[in-house]
Structure 1
Amino acid sequence: MSSADTIRFRHNQAILVAAIVAFLGALPLASVEWYLSPVLLVPLAVGIWAWRAGTDADPRELRLRALAGDRRIRWDQVAELTTDGRGRAVARLGDGQEVVLPAVRGTDLPRLVSATGQTLPGPR
């Protein structure tokens, strides 16, 4: 399976830039006293999350990536793709569990379905 077959959904990279700016802004505070150095961990964690978190979709599976791990869901486990009240994409699994797809909006569902090699029916 080539990476060309994979569709990637990521959060806006402006979050990563904001985390870098926050890290640089926290440096003077953290350098005042040693016990203030953990303040640097917050923008660092946000930056790593912004760089890593998202959803990868290919013809075999969905891969949900988070700050410190990932989860793979085969397409045959997905019963339905829908949206929640906030406009986020949600996968309902065959066992009734609902999984929010990181960085995927409801408007991205046609692109997500195209990763399976299938198409959505057109309007009637």
Structure 2
Amino acid sequence: MKILRQFLIILLISLLGEILSWLLPFPVPASVYGLVLMMAALMTGAILIPQVKEAAVILIELMPVMFIPAAVGLMTVWEKLRPMVVPVIVITFVTTLLVMGATGLVTQKVIEKTEKGSEN
């Protein structure tokens, strides 16, 4: 029953994200709204981590399985994708490096701010 309750909490947050996506005129996916709502609920204490932890772990463990249909779909259109493989690989590599660099810089700034705040 505990895990079922946790899944229901996660599904409720996802449903609220879908509703926000439907109501608001912004081109933001419902899943992003759901993630923002879940983060806000966790940060404010409206939802505590133990209330969703086990269900979240199960969903994270199942995530790789969800990519199998997409990979199979790519295999079925390989002939159309072949001319674009090199540009896609280059773009993927460059954007990965940019995201890693930006994440590192932001993390360093947050750590510096946290250390300065704890010294005062």
If the TM-score is normalised by the length of the shorter chain, which range does it land in? under 0.3
TM-score, scaled to structure 1: 0.25
TM-score, scaled to structure 2: 0.25
| Greater strand proportion | 1
| Greater helix proportion | 2
